[in-house]
Amino acid sequence: MIKPETKAKKIMDRVAKTIEKAKENNITASFYIEDLSCQKEQRLRAEYEITYNIGQINYPKNLEGNYPHLLWTEMRNIQTKISNLDNTIYFRSPTEYNQINLKTKSGPEQRSKAEAEYTLLYATQFLDTLKKFSSKTNLKNLRRDISILRSQQKELIPQMRKVNSAFIQKRKLEKEEIKKKNQEVLTEGRFWEVDKDTLKDYFHTPFQKNYLADVSAKWRAALFLECKSASYKRYNGTWGHILEGTGQGYLCGIDDNGDEWGHEVFVPLSINEYGTMQLDATVEEAMAELFDISINKLGKSYRQGDLLFCPETIPGTRKEELGKLEDAWEVKESHQIYSKGMRYDYEYFQSTNPIIVSHTSHNPVFLPAGEYKLYPLQIADAD
């Protein structure tokens, strides 16, 4: 009489050959006996899986992004139908518990026999199931249904490509229009209206790597910050990478007279929770550093080139020492301040009449009557 162990070995050889043969029909199958035994008890469980490898068809990505399009919706619906044809068979048997102690004299032999009989039972079941799954009729019907749906998908692909081509052409025209508009506004000095990349290409900063932190139409200025790549450790222990500031900045712009200017400046930056310097400075913060003025006073000030005029109460002793204006006060080359009855001392000035600040190429600045302090730029223009 043939032992169960011998039969089990033969049927497992047959299982291996049948699984390999099934690959010719694009079928993937697996079968194994899982041994979960402990010393006092044998625990066996059988598992097998049989599936037809349907796969997916490659089709063009929707270049319009997340915008829903009927063609791509239809393609996904067909793919869902194809996926639903996947009649994968997955089986896991209940765990069989045999009260066989491995430490007894006959334990190993009893366990070997029990495992062989368990293997024979489920290997036979697996082979029968795989035979039915691999039948010509089943595979013919499955392939027919897949082929019909695949044909529907293939009809959609040329239409998808046509939609994408139209979108690419539209984007090309839009980019050309944006480029033209950017050139126009740059020519007119309204650089704050152009996109970030164009602005970075236009202003040449002295840094190898820079970040556009802020743009201000009011001050006709853009602030670039020097940056570098930094690593930081997240709370979960993984490492991340971020752009970190160095504190060095470059404030630049185009004045109302069309002159381009730029100044290097050190801007205090805040520190994030990982200990790296953030790139969160503003044009106003950079100007406050350059003109040595507080942010609050800066917001009330008037600017002409490298001069700021801030409404401030003149200290009592200084007010008494103000001299009378005989003619226009030439603060700096080509910058003249004039008002009837104006008094000044080269830092403060006041008048009970409107004040005009003129320049040979800048637009004039008109100041309401009152008291003012002059804040000149603290550094020379960068080349």
CA gap 312, 319 in Å, rounded: 12
DSSP class of residue 345?
A: -
Provide the pairing of β-strand 42-52 with 89-92: antiparallel
**Count of CB atoms situated within 10 Å of the CB of 168:** 11
Contact predicate 292/378, CB 8 Å: yes
Contact predicate 285/295, CB 8 Å: yes
**Mean per-residue pLDDT for 81-102?**
91
The structure's pTM equals: 0.58
pLDDT for the residue numbered 382: 42
What residues does each domain of the chain span? Answer: 4-155, 193-291, 300-376
pLDDT for the residue numbered 380: 52
Give the pLDDT band of residue 383 (cuts 50, 70, 90).
very low
Between 11-15, 108-112, 134-138, 236-240, the lowest mean confidence (pLDDT) is in 236-240
CA gap 291, 12 in Å, rounded: 87
pLDDT for the residue numbered 276: 81
**Mean per-residue pLDDT for 197-214?**
90
CA gap 295, 205 in Å, rounded: 24
DSSP character string of 242-299: EEEEEEEEEEEEE-TTS-EEEEEEE----B-TTS-B-S---HHHHHHHHHT--HHHHH
